[in-house]
Amino acid sequence: MTDDPAAHDTAATDAAVTDTAVPRADRQTRGLAFTKGHGTGNDFILTLDPEGVGRTDAAFVAGLCDRHRGIGADGFIRAVRSSSLPEGQALLQSDPEAEWFMDYRNGDGSVAQMCGNGVRVFVHFLLDQGTVELQDGGELAVGTRSGVKRVTRAGNGYAVDMGPWEFIFPDAAVARGMDSLVEIAGLEVDRPALSVSMGNPHTVVALAELAELRAAELHRAPTVQPRPPEGTNVEVVVPAEPLVGDDGVGRLTMRVHERGVGETQSCGSGACAAAVATRFWAGTGAPDRWLVEVPGGVVGVRFFPGPDGREHVELSGPAELVAEGTLLAAY
């Protein structure tokens, strides 16, 4: 960086990062173009890196996502051709349509398998960059670390086949309707929960009323026992009263603490897991369509028979791109 005052004047339109953000490495990030986007307030920094040569080390990603010394985001998404990454190459063997791979990292720089809001924003970013074409109703195959996800363009948003769901601790879940206890700051006693995999791990806690939901201090990581092997995201939900409206759609309100990030405005895969758990608790006759209200908006969840014979979950919602910029300094 430079101390030339004229250079600092350009910070209004370009994103600058100071030398103190994270240790300086090489200069391959200077001039890196990025886009900022979000899905119901779950925000991301996106870069186009077709050959997969850009930096993705934890210090670099954490510095970018820092809301005081970086750009600020819940996560970092790199658009890479699947053929340029070992994970993508493996997916191409069974699904050659998955040309693009969503290389996703949490805000702390840790690698993540999947992000439901992120994959919608990822497809919107590819369209904006002109790397793909997708008409309304059209479908795009996207490679992720939890397999190939198919994203359909639907009006002002996108619908994602998130794949099948499963319980992380199935024996306990089926036998007792819960498989773990969760300690949440702001709530007086530990709460029973269900742990659900949507390709990434989630633990869902149901509360009786919105006052409890507001009292939960989700800026602190809840303690989950037993803890899923790869850690977990924790969703705290309040089912609507009545649970199902006259339109046959189930409704619930949710907040979330995401592993590697903290509390976020929304979590797409978490909304799916919350609907899975609430539907299971509701029992026979529970609906297949749900609306999940999060601090950043509303997303839709739908259960349907998948092509593999298992029940799949579809996530639908908006995707927005809000800014473009260029890094001024190397990390």
Could you give the residue numbers annotated as active site? Answer: 115, 267
233 marked as binding residue: yes
In sequence order, what DSSP letters do the residues of 242-295 get, joined into one string?
A: EEE-TTS-EEEEEEEEETTTEEES--HHHHHHHHHHHHHHH-TT--SEEEEEET
d(C-alpha 151, C-alpha 162), whole Å: 9
| Cross-strand partners of 236 | 205, 255
| Cross-strand partners of 43 | 38
Residues 43-63 as b or e (16 or more Cβ within 10 Å = b) = bbbbbbbeebeebbeeebbbb
116 marked as binding residue: yes
Pairing of strands 289-294, 250-258: parallel
269 marked as binding residue: yes
72 marked as binding residue: no
106 marked as binding residue: yes
Radius of gyration of the chain (CA): 20
Contact 302, 313 (CB under 8 A): yes
d(C-alpha 316, C-alpha 258), whole Å: 20
258 marked as binding residue: yes
DSSP-based three-state secondary structure for 126: helix
Check residue 122 and report its DSSP letter.
H
Number of residues assigned to the chain: 331
* Residues ≥6 apart with Cβ < 8 Å to 48: 33, 79, 125, 129, 131
55 marked as binding residue: no
Please choose, from the candidates 115, 159, 113, the residue with its C-alpha nearest in 3D space to the C-alpha of residue 138: 159
42 marked as binding residue: yes
117 marked as binding residue: yes
Known binding-site positions: 42, 106, 116-117, 200, 233, 258-259, 268-269
Provide the annotated binding site for substrate: 42, 106, 116-117, 200, 233, 258-259, 268-269
